[in-house]
């Protein structure tokens, strides 16, 4: 594997991890928002 391929893989993994974190935060905040709305 060349250095450029490793770099591309690292960037792809980082982007994927960030996307997963963003999705998790959105689901969490969406869930909290739903709980707050239901309580009120």
pLDDT in tens for each of the 40 residues of the chain? 566 778 778 888 888 888 888 888 777 777 777 777 666 5
Q: Which domain holds residue 29?
A: 13-39
How many structural domains is the chain composed of? 1
Q: Quick check: is 2 in a domain? A: no
Q: What 8-state DSSP symbol labels residue 37? A: H
| Rounded-to-integer distance, Cα 14 and Cα 21, Å | 11
Q: The tokens of 37 are what?
A: 């709305």
pTM: 0.49
Give, for 7, the enclosing helix (H) or strand (E): helix 3-39
Q: Quick check: is 3 in a domain? A: no
Q: Quick check: is 5 in a domain? A: no
Task: Give me the pLDDT at residue 20, please.
Answer: 87
């Amino acid at each position: 594997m060349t250095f450029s391929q490793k770099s591309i893989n690292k960037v792809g993994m980082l982007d994927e991890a960030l996307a997963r974190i963003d999705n998790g935060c959105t689901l969490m905040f969406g869930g909290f928002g739903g709980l707050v709305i239901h309580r009120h």
